[in-house]
Structure 1
Amino acid sequence: MTSFSTPDPYTYHNGFNSHFESESIPNSLPVACNSPQKPPLGLYAEKLSGSAFTAPRHSNKQTWLYRILPSASHIPFTLQTSTRSFSTEKLTPLPNQLRWDPFDINKSATFLTGLQLVAGAGDIPTKNGIGIYIYSCGQSMPETEAFYSADGDMLIVPQEGDLDVRTELGRIYVRPSEILVIPRGIRYNVALPTGQARGYILESFTPQHFELPELGPIGSNGLANPRDFQIPKADYVDSQETHTVITKFAGAFYEAKQNHSPFDVVSWHGNYYPFKYDLGRFNTIGTISYDHPDPSIFTVLTVPSSLPGTAIADFVVFPPRWLVGENTFRPPWYHRNCMSEFMGLIKGGYDAKASGFNPGGASLHNVMAGHGPDAETAEKASECPLNPAKVGEGSLAFMFESVFMVGVTDWGVQKCGKVQEDYNVESWTGVKRRFEVPKKE
């Protein structure tokens, strides 16, 4: 289990995919009627819809907000011409294996201005695709600034530095080894309580949301348990200062001014909200006899597609775990996959690589690109005694997996200056030839 020396400064609701209600002032939630003629305390009722109104009940995502002023109260949005636009980024799918050294931290940037698109696929306006980002920053966002993505749900994976996130529905404190999901449209501000920060983001542009994978034959327990997810409690700001709201809309950034806080939600109820999860609570599943199960057993969250068992995006984690399989090649086998795999390392070393894959770096093995353990790891795994062994002690790696063929941006290939040019040569050309033709008697 992950443990932290500093207690979390906020309290939360616990659970996942359930209906919650939260009040920062008692009796600020209306009774029975969601949109009464006059809500309590002179508040305005505002519905936040994360799905179509007529979506099936099990997948319907809606939350009612009771706020001081409605979010519609702002001057018109204008395009931010001074900042980059991800809508103009060209994505080039590459068949070669890619690996990056740890990305530099931009100490002068905020969470928002330090955002860089590394890879992605699909089309935002048609709500079909994903984006993969690196964030690196050394400055907190101004308190009078809020950001939201109209493009999709963002899964944030901190690698270095804590994030103090104020959202419309309450505050969330996120450390490395925890993840944060902020659904499409929810406004938030990111402060850096421990200094500089770096991490990874997976954004899903599709109408589907992140959910727990089905357990199938595993049964009712295992992997990520619903009770371990944490949802913020209402915590409003009443301010008449000028605030700036920034949105990412079709990949471009727009801003608008308003004379009230974007975080003025006094109370709320519903099932569409941001949430965090401590990866140290993930319950790993594995073989206790032989063979190496598919890495789907490490799936924390998934965004399902219309094809059963095929994901728009999976978030997979590789925590410390015991390996006991007999007569088994224990590292990930060599494979080619109809899915693309983007991996990152939060801390420690990854057990399938002897060197070169470091915390804050990443790798991409695109659709049908052959990959697996490097030569040194494969040789050790083929010859070592198969006693029970714990791997990944002090390590935490993860993977964004997607059915899409992922393209890489010019920044990701060239401008970041972190691509390891000899990654595939150094990793696999040294694999030993063992083939022997049987001698004829």
Structure 2
Amino acid sequence: MTEYFPGFGNHVSTEAVPGALPIGRNSPQKPPFGLYAEQLSGTAFTAPRAENKRSWLYRLRPSAEHPPFTRYQGATNFSPATPEAPLPPNRLRWDPIAAPAPGTDLIDGMTTMLVNRDPADLEGVVVHVYAANTDMETRVFFDADGELLFIPQAGRLALLTEMGRIDIEPGQIALIPRGVRFRALLPDGEARGYVAENYGALFRLPDLGPIGANGLANPRDFETPAAWFEDRDEPFEVVQKHLGNLWTTTLAHSPLDVVAWHGNLAPCRYDLARFNTMNTVSYDHPDPSIFTVLTSPSDVPGRANADFVIFPPRWMVAEDTFRPPWFHRNIMSEAMGLIHGAYDAKADGFAPGGISLHNLMAGHGPDVTSWEGATNATLKPHKIESTMAFMVETCWPYRPTKFARDHAQPDYDAAWAGFPKAKLP
């Protein structure tokens, strides 16, 4: 069983072999057992101490030892270029993607749906979906463009990373830092889900402001794995995402060979059921920012490069209030996914594994059926149960990829047809 350390962004010291961690030196002249010292930096060297993220890895071989990379020819739907065609302001929605062909692993089973910004800008966020049915046995992936937030929808994932093993299932998430190598196993034989790829500032816990010291996602509920490594001398393919393209090379050994490490940049997992939901106990409907789990800030205070927001089971008690999400237009762009259950603003058409997109200033809200039900409901304390939806919100407009444009539902606008005109006196 994997050992985990609690806490988000805490400094962790861990070794898979006793005595592998140097004492008092990050890069001693002779690390224990002839290991190689290597620093993994998630921020600039000169970032303020409170924001500086880095870890020291002690490994069997340096990661610099590899042949040249060449273009990878697989994963044809993974990370295509940003479309250059004019972006219509239309609202869009997608059904879950089709089942993959047999023998499809996590990387070849990745489909990019929504993109913004160039990864070279060090800003922006991308939304992918994945559907896989084969383990990555001798293949490893890493992303030089951004950190990866895995959001399983069906089936478990075992993410074997350089810095430890992370096991997640639907209802949990895993965050893999930029540059960390990993391979994915499928304990259930197949898996589906979503991935948010963050090009910008590292995801962090949001400030709580007037909420106070407690609430939302508690730092102690995030879990970082203990050191783990594999010593396998056989061919391993390494696939790298770099500036939006995929590249490949082959090593004579597994690169997941970090025997010990210490630092505050590491993969972690979080159980969404532990989110401490805030809500009103009087009237009116708070903004959905009260459901933010993780945020990546932009250079403009209060305007996020990316927010990961969830809509979990919760009590609704507000008086004289329209309780589902109200009609609104927003400066932020919203990509929404559904892990399980039903979303309270849509009666049908939004299935687990699907996506909806409401770009900046696109009017949206509940459909007619949901609006009528909420308008005429007898208001009493009510608990929303058996559901988990999420949103990846960003200040940058999303652009659907060609695959996404070709596979969008043709009649999503009909969700807002048929509203009766208000009757003035």
TM-score range, shorter chain: over 0.9
**C-alpha separation between the residues in 1 aligned to 2:116 and 2:240?**
20
2:294 to 301, 307, 319: 301
2:92 to 87, 98, 101: 98
**C-alpha separation between the residues in 1 aligned to 2:386 and 2:80?**
39
94 and 156 in structure 1: CA distance in 2 versus 1, 3 angstrom threshold: farther
**C-alpha separation between the residues in 2 aligned to 1:306 and 1:66?**
35
RMSD over aligned Cα, in angstroms? 1.2
1:144 to 118, 132, 138: 138
- Alpha-carbon shift at residue 434 of structure 1 (Å): 2.3
1:368 to 357, 361, 368: 361
- Alpha-carbon shift at residue 94 of structure 1 (Å): 2.8
1:24 aligns with 2:16: yes
Secondary structure at 2:295 match in 1: strand
Q: Is the 8 A contact 2:336 2:392 kept in 1?
A: yes
Q: Is the 8 A contact 2:82 2:399 kept in 1?
A: no
**TM value normalised by structure 2:** 0.97
Equivalent residues in 2 for 1:102-113 (5 A)? 102-108=96-102, 109-113=104-108
**C-alpha separation between the residues in 1 aligned to 2:101 and 2:389?**
25
Equivalent residues in 2 for 1:40-439 (5 A)? 40-84=32-76, 86-90=79-83, 93-108=87-102, 109-141=104-136, 143-206=137-200, 208-391=201-384, 393-414=385-406, 417=407, 419-425=408-414, 427-436=415-424, 438=425
**C-alpha separation between the residues in 1 aligned to 2:423 and 2:252?**
73
- Alpha-carbon shift at residue 435 of structure 1 (Å): 2.5
Secondary structure at 1:29 match in 2: coil
381 and 83 in structure 1: CA distance in 2 versus 1, 3 angstrom threshold: closer
Q: List gaps (5 residues or longer) in structure 2.
A: none
**TM value normalised by structure 1:** 0.94
* Amino acid in the other structure paired with 1:58: A
Q: Is the 8 A contact 1:240 1:261 kept in 2?
A: yes
Q: Is the 8 A contact 1:44 1:67 kept in 2?
A: yes
2:30 to 31, 38, 57: 38
Q: Is the 8 A contact 1:105 1:197 kept in 2?
A: no
Q: Is the 8 A contact 2:124 2:306 kept in 1?
A: no
199 and 82 in structure 1: CA distance in 2 versus 1, 3 angstrom threshold: closer
Secondary structure at 1:424 match in 2: helix
61 and 315 in structure 1: CA distance in 2 versus 1, 3 angstrom threshold: same
Secondary structure at 1:394 match in 2: coil
- Alpha-carbon shift at residue 107 of structure 1 (Å): 4.2
**C-alpha separation between the residues in 2 aligned to 1:284 and 1:131?**
26
Q: Residue deviations 1:37-89, cap 9 Å, x none? A: 00011111011111110011111011000001111111111112455373535
**C-alpha separation between the residues in 1 aligned to 2:106 and 2:39?**
28
